[in-house]
Chain A
Amino acid sequence: MTDIIGLLNLRDVNFYHELNANRPLAAVPFAGKFRLIDFTLSSLVNADVGDIGILLPISSNSIMDHIRGGKEWNLAKIKDGLFYLPPDPDDVHIKEGCSINSYFKNMRFVDRGLKKYIILSFCDSAYNADFNKIMEEHESTKSDVTMIYSIQNRNLSGRSRTLTVDKDDNVTKISPFGNTKIGDKLFLRCLIMECKTFKEIVVEAHAEGKTSLCEEINARLDKLKVHGYKYTEYVAKIDSLADYFRASMDLLNLNIWKELFFNGDRRIHSKVKNEIPTKYLDNAKVQNSLLANGAVVDGTVENSILSRRVTIGEKAIVRNSILMQYCKIGEGAILDGVVCDKSVTISPGRVIKGTPEKPYYISKGMKL
């Protein structure tokens, strides 16, 4: 499927919490090794989409440092490949769901590709999409737009759009952002349409001073055939710290771990770090956890996720916690229900406790 461009909108995020206070949501480290953007980016390249633009938000250092030229995703190419679309001052404070202006200003990226379709995604969820299959369904149903949704199966704290879908899988309503409940058809903020349709809608909306693409599609449901694609595999939505914690704990379920990372030949690609394999020392007691290469463990670890270059000191105990890169847990320290951002140092003997509903968050670089 190479007649497609991908457009990743990292600007339009409708919530801020501890994890994305100082970084784009798409850059949030997840699963001990990846960043949220890896999932969407990998899904696109796994379907041979080789022409991908990224609408960068402000403070995009972590994104650009992580993706760089796109080599690991096969996007460092002479023709097509990866395109960074930096923001200008107007793009800094985008209200939720209001990206028409961004699309209008970057229509050159859509035009240059000379491709038929565009897949637009916001990279706020982790799931392993088979875009080949989704495109097939889009084409076989002769739809103008496909919107990907999943059935909500747990309580979520964020604000999302939901879809109303009829028995022929046509979308009959796109609701505004709001609280959602179990059983709702949660829009995964991923759409497919022809580039010319996208351009028509955006140009018209922009001329009329309208701001939201989804609302424009909603207003045109009588003219456009909008297909609801039901994604049935695992999706991690990261709308809050509590959601992040729960989604991370989901990864300790081997079936979910496989659904995300061993799904046919659709691998999730990430920046190469060349870390040494995980090292277990004499006092290691690790159970029900995920451990990244580069981690060194000499203590107890249960129900937790350890990222690269995390060191667990002798007899330290880490339970129900998520430790991002470079965290150092001192000897005898005890952590339970904690989310440590990068490079946190916990002194020997410190005890820190949180709960799954309210995990104790320690920000980047803190020394406790």
Chain B
Amino acid sequence: MHKTECMAMILAGGKGSRLGALTKHLAKPGVLFGSKYRIIDFPLSNCRNSGITTVGILTQYQPLELNWYIGNGNAWDLDAVVGGTFILPPYMGDDDDASNSWYQGTADAIYQNLNFVDLIDPDYVLILSGDHIYAMDYDKMLSFHKAHKAAVTVSTIEVPWEEASRFGIMAADATERITEFKEKPSHPKSNKASMGIYIFNKDILVKYLKNDAKDKTSAHDFGKNIIPNLLANKERLYSYTFPGYWKDVGTIESLWEANMDLLEEHPKLQLDNPKWRIYSGNRDYPPHYAGPKAKIKKSLVGEGSQILGTIDHSVIFYDVIVAAGAKVSNSVVMPGTVIEKGAIVDNAIVGESCHIYEKGKVQGTKEKVFLLGHHKNVHSEEK
């Protein structure tokens, strides 16, 4: 039994309300992505590949499918004799316990699980969001954190200037020490955005969460409260610049775009990096079948599918049937869906187990991608 140096806490309780039908019965980290994955595959795979073997997953909103999917973590090699994945829902405790309510904010969620952090007793706690798509070596961030003798390290990424006002924006000096932090500034002074990924020294985390819990005016949010408090107390707060691809797919458009990004010849998000495998829940399907009249270009196609029609620039999941004479373009088609002859799907996200009947049309535009929810039927002459 050796001591855990760094544990991860993944915040996976969010609804992702702007994803509409996709998150009606499923927390956002469980949303399907890229022909075979769920968003949570990325932080889980990153943990495994970074050598982090104790991962708490804080669920709250519609957790059933997500909890079932995670299971004991074995799909990500995170089922361990010591450590492993731990699902942490809100729970009832004794009257003077930390718990006793639904999670009130990101910081409150961790605060209510400090007993778990105590149990593991790590030196460092890595706070992650469950709904980001990216491949990142947290061990490099930890080395940076140690080298700078930081109390807290925030992972940051350069965002396009026109989007900077959507994020928590940091200013840092030449040593990467954070000098300023503004949540969603209307006039951003920098384009270095917080990714919502933090490494805390355990004692600092405990101290600031306990103090924040006492503050009844606080929103109990890392970005709005904890980070500013750390800064105000002149704690050693550092910015770790992440140079890779990172996407927080909060909207239908951004989810669609992130899927389409995978169709470039050399996508910025490399899913097939042998040094950084992205793990996913296993399904036992055979290789997919491309029919005698199939025309498939610039697309990803999942296992067990039967593609007899035309697929252009699309992301097709596993167990999808596309009949001869059907045409799918610029779209994402989720598992279990059947698309019949003469049907057209363009600029759309089609949910799970939909049935697009003969000559049915699911038509969106590049500006406004059409979302067809799960288990929907589309007959001809209908949209």
Show the binding face of A for B, using Cβ within 8 Å: 31-34, 42, 71-72, 252, 254, 257, 260-262, 267-270, 272, 274-282, 284-294, 301, 305-307
Take A32-B287, A276-B271 as given contacts and tell me if A293 and B303 are in contact as well, using a CB distance cutoff of 8 Å: yes
Question: Which of B2-10, B218-226, B291-299, B341-349 contacts its partner?
Answer: B291-299
Question: Which of B19-27, B160-168, B197-205, B276-284 contacts its partner?
Answer: B276-284
Give the nearest-CB partner of A303 in chain B. B292
B286 contact from A257, A278, A306, Cβ within 8 A:
A257
Take A274-B278, A280-B301 as given contacts and tell me if A286 and B287 are in contact as well, using a CB distance cutoff of 8 Å: no
Q: Are B285 and A261 in contact (CB under 8 A)?
A: yes
Q: Are B298 and A291 in contact (CB under 8 A)?
A: no
Q: Are B286 and A280 in contact (CB under 8 A)?
A: no
B289 contact from A257, A272, A284, Cβ within 8 A:
A257
Q: Are A290 and B284 in contact (CB under 8 A)?
A: no
A274 contact from B74, B280, B293, Cβ within 8 A:
B280
Q: Are A277 and B301 in contact (CB under 8 A)?
A: yes
Complex CA distance for A270 and B35, rounded to whole angstroms? 20
Contacts of B247-304 to chain A: CB distance below 8 A: 265, 271-272, 277-280, 282, 284-304
What are 17 A-B interface contacts by the 8 Å CB criterion? Answer: A32-B286, A33-B303, A42-B284, A261-B304, A276-B34, A277-B35, A277-B301, A278-B300, A279-B300, A280-B297, A280-B298, A281-B297, A284-B297, A287-B293, A290-B287, A291-B301, A292-B303
Q: Are A290 and B286 in contact (CB under 8 A)?
A: yes
B297 neighbours in A (Cβ, 8 Å): 280-282, 284
Q: Are A282 and B298 in contact (CB under 8 A)?
A: yes
Q: Are B294 and A286 in contact (CB under 8 A)?
A: yes
Give the nearest-CB partner of B41 in chain A. A274
Show the binding face of B for A, using Cβ within 8 Å: 34-36, 74-75, 265, 271-272, 277-280, 282, 284-304, 306, 311, 316, 318
Complex CA distance for A71 and B71, rounded to whole angstroms? 15
- The distance from the CB of A143 to the nearest CB of chain B, in whole angstroms, is 31
Q: Are A288 and B292 in contact (CB under 8 A)?
A: yes
Take A268-B284, A270-B284, A293-B36 as given contacts and tell me if A277 and B303 are in contact as well, using a CB distance cutoff of 8 Å: yes
Q: Are A267 and B301 in contact (CB under 8 A)?
A: no
Complex CA distance for A278 and B289, rounded to whole angstroms? 11
A301 neighbours in B (Cβ, 8 Å): 290
A-B contact count (CB 8 A): 108
Complex CA distance for A260 and B284, rounded to whole angstroms? 12
A33 neighbours in B (Cβ, 8 Å): 286-287, 303
B34 contact from A42, A277, A278, A287, Cβ within 8 A:
A277
A71 neighbours in B (Cβ, 8 Å): 74
- The distance from the CB of A192 to the nearest CB of chain B, in whole angstroms, is 25
Give the nearest-CB partner of B288 in chain A. A291
Take A279-B300, A280-B297, A280-B298 as given contacts and tell me if A292 and B292 are in contact as well, using a CB distance cutoff of 8 Å: no
Complex CA distance for A267 and B303, rounded to whole angstroms? 13
B302 neighbours in A (Cβ, 8 Å): 277-278, 293
Q: Are B289 and A286 in contact (CB under 8 A)?
A: no
Known interface pairs A279-B299, A301-B290; 16 further A-B residue pairs with C-beta atoms within 8 A, sorted by A's residue number: A254-B289, A268-B286, A276-B278, A277-B34, A277-B35, A280-B297, A280-B298, A280-B299, A280-B301, A284-B298, A287-B290, A288-B290, A289-B290, A291-B301, A293-B303, A307-B287
Q: Are B298 and A293 in contact (CB under 8 A)?
A: no
A281 neighbours in B (Cβ, 8 Å): 265, 297-298
